[in-house]
Structure 1
């Protein structure tokens, strides 16, 4: 836009300068009484002024055409641009019509699909009966396909004849047009040409009648072909539906076989676990277990800023785990003078690599079995998990239903134990590595149970364990027990006791 303003200003300024120069030149020529081509001085001045005006116009147009491509296109290619614009508008309207037709066709297809789905449900009940009909349908389909091919060949031959006749008609029409042009040029032979034109028009009418009869026959054949296609498609759909149902049965059988293999693998795993439990049982019989399985020997929350610090933190954690394992298996020896935990260099290297990415992690070293007093080595395994929020405050962790009218004291106790076990199980499964405990301890838990036992029938229908506050991976997860009626809180454990927290 700025360049256009500059161009207009330059053209106006140049026009003014050229006008001044033209006027000055005309005055000079008039005063000096010059003559050009034997003209009088006045006529010479008029000619000079005319040439100056022509120069102004030519210079202006030259500047505009030289500096503005859009002006050149607008002057010399305006008709072409308008034609392209009209063509684009027609194509846009055709595209919109096609889009509308496609949307209508999609809606029709959706309705047909829903109708076909309902038919599929009914057809699935008749699978056994239809399987016996598949062979006959397929043979009938082959005959219909052969009939369709025969009709298609016949239609192609008729199309060829129709095209030949149309070509003949076009030739006749061309000849008729030539005859009419000649009739206008030769007025004297009008009567003779009239007779010839009438004869040719009669021939054309006969050809058109034959063409129309051929078209009608072709249309009938096409309709017959469409009917055959529809019948073939219906049979194909039935066969496809039957094949799909058979495939579904086969898929179900494969899933059951895969499930059987999974159960066999699970049985093998359980047998191996049973063998391991028997070995641990023999270990328990030989002496008192001083270090049970899955005991946390060392734990830490760390964020490594430099990769060189990872070795120091891992070594410190291993030293703490070794100290606890040594004192547990050798309680009479207070001085730790040997390494008793068994861990591979690959485990230590993997631990360092996991915690060296700059994020905050929870590290734990746990015993991998039951150990008695005097064990030479204590096997351990490591747990590394990002320290992130697992549960938000007030988030429901586990829920069980309660019917105080039908349940006694022992059944209520079992329900409460099940609630706490489910909460602990979900917490472990979600990634909580620390303690899982009731928010305000034993007193609140006892008072909550007594309140449940003393409640009237229908006072509440569920009890729920919620996170008392946001809980991260490192823990602890403190639980708040709530009694609910139709989704509304009736009372909670936080209202019933303030004792110190205790592990559930």
Structure 2
């Protein structure tokens, strides 16, 4: 860049010198023109004097001496003296003209040299400017590449954070499942010790309540409590004939609070849970005992959480490298992942139902996977719109290269030769 600046400065200096010399050349040309204008009349006057001198000489040769001879001779001498002065003046003018022409030639030569130098500087400047333009173009390209790389790094960083978050969520989900497994194992141990009719956290009844008015809400809550009471009575006292016994223990203030919560609101999913385990034969109200079943009532807004044909989980399976146990393990991971996704979305009954829920459907899908000769992507697809209450009804679907091959509804496996 400094070299270009120096070339531009030299070019400006040469241009200034060129203007000065051009003005001097014009001035010299004008002087030469003026001298040439003076030389022409001098030459004409010398020619006239020479002619007059010649005429006088001829007259002197033809005439006889007379008193005017001396006067004529003097006139002739005057012409000669005047002619001599004019000749000297002419020589001076010619010498000056020659000198000016020589100066003009020098200035024109210098002007030509300056013009040549300016043209060379222009060419050099054009080369440097082209180089600078190319470097600037390369710099801009590098800048664009840098910005692209920066965006890619930011995108990868965001993706990495999403993956880390997903891993954390999955770990939390697995920890939650492990806790549930431990709870189930504890419940199972209790069941082994006695005939348990109701498990802790078991849903005794559920419904969707639309809060139009206090009367409508109260009526729907009453029906829900009655149904939960009947289900609990049948579970703990299957042989009793009195279906009107009240064995649920619900705080009245909770019913009042629930009515206020639901009146004038959108649809809510209302469920009644058992707070503990209850063995068959225990839990009926009697004259001397209070063994009612304590319950908890939960109300959750009912909304659509999964849309039909939405994919909520996916795993990769390569039947050419996996045995049946490994394929089953991947399918189990797929189902657990779908359940975790449903739980995070807020679905209450989050365990997915595969197709029609029949074991034969699952087995047939597994057999179709084992027959394939190429890697597959297995997705868990929501079969219909799923709301808060759940559960999600899903179909397992196998794809390869973006093409759907079969699912738990069709199970029409396409041969590997028709795909690859």
Tell me the TM-score normalised to structure 1 length. Answer: 0.41
Higher relative contact order at CA 8 Å, sep ≥6: structure 1 or structure 2? 2
Q: Pick the structure with more helix per residue.
A: 1
- Which one has a bigger Cα radius of gyration? 2
Tell me the TM-score normalised to structure 2 length. Answer: 0.49
